[in-house]
Amino acid sequence: SMRTERVIFTGGEPLIRKDLSQLIRRATSLKMKVHINSNGTLVPKLLEELRPISALTISLDGDRNVHDRIRGAGAFDAALVALRAAKTLPSVKVRLTAVISSDSIGAEDALLDVARREGVDVFFQPAEHRLLGSDEPNPIAPPIARYRETIDHLIAEKEGGAPIANSLSALRFLQKWPDGPALPCAGSKLFCRLDYDGRVMICGRMGEYEESYSALDLGFREAFMKLNE
């Protein structure tokens, strides 16, 4: 009734939900586009359930050595199997997403090589410089100087036609991270986070500062509108 256009199922790992196929069918029956962020492990097993979705983003942080070191032995091969399986779904746009962290920095060219071979784009994002919802520093945040050199390299690659999903303007903004002007937040205006327990939040990234209202108690519309009070 609020004309929601897109639902993104993320996590953790959303494909472990037993009722995900029911949620997908419900959302698509209401003409909502469904996007899913996944590590890919369960994609081949659930391929038919994913057929109605619009987009699937699979996490890949580097080449086999880097990705498996971060996520466990076999994770790289599992992600590629998932990517190739998902590409057989004609209406699903598939891409990769990579976190630039102290554990993965330097693996960007290897990721772009994978993207070129597989015919998909890669979206790059930095590891947060603070732990989520905290003032504590994130131990895997990339070194700033090397991070900025990496973004400069990605800008040059993008200008040369590399399969990078970020726009040039977004990369130039990221080049200043974690400094530079803050972008206006559209949380509670254009989007929100609906958590597993029914809490409606601005974005889920504010930790103890996050206000929330229960969609189970108030209904989604009222819970969402209260975020703007």
Residue 5 has pLDDT above 80, yes or no: yes
Check the CA dihedral 76-85-100-33 and report its sign: negative
pLDDT tens-digit map of 165-195: 999 999 999 998 888 788 888 889 999 999 9
pLDDT band at 59 (very low <50, low <70, confident <90, very high): very high
Number of DSSP helices (H) and strands (E) in the chain, helices first: 9, 8
pLDDT band at 132 (very low <50, low <70, confident <90, very high): low
User: What pTM did the predictor assign?
Assistant: 0.91
Only one residue has tokens 């196929």, namely 21
pLDDT at residue number 207: 65
Report the amino acid identity of residue 178: P
Give me Rg for the CA atoms of the chain. Answer: 18
pLDDT tens-digit map of 196-229: 999 999 987 766 667 899 999 999 999 999 998 8
β-strands 193-194, 199-201 pairing? antiparallel
- Among candidate residues 2, 36, 40, 41, the one with its CA nearest the CA of residue 21: 36
Q: What percent of the chain has pLDDT over 70?
A: 96
The Cα 147–Cα 178 span in angstroms is 10
Kindly state the helix (H) or strand (E) to which residue 47 belongs, with its residue range: helix 47-50
CB 177 within 8 A of CB 149: no
Furthest CA-CA distance within the chain: 52
pLDDT at residue number 99: 93
Average pLDDT over residues 94-118: 96
Find out whether the peptide bond into 90 is cis, omega within 30 degrees of 0: no
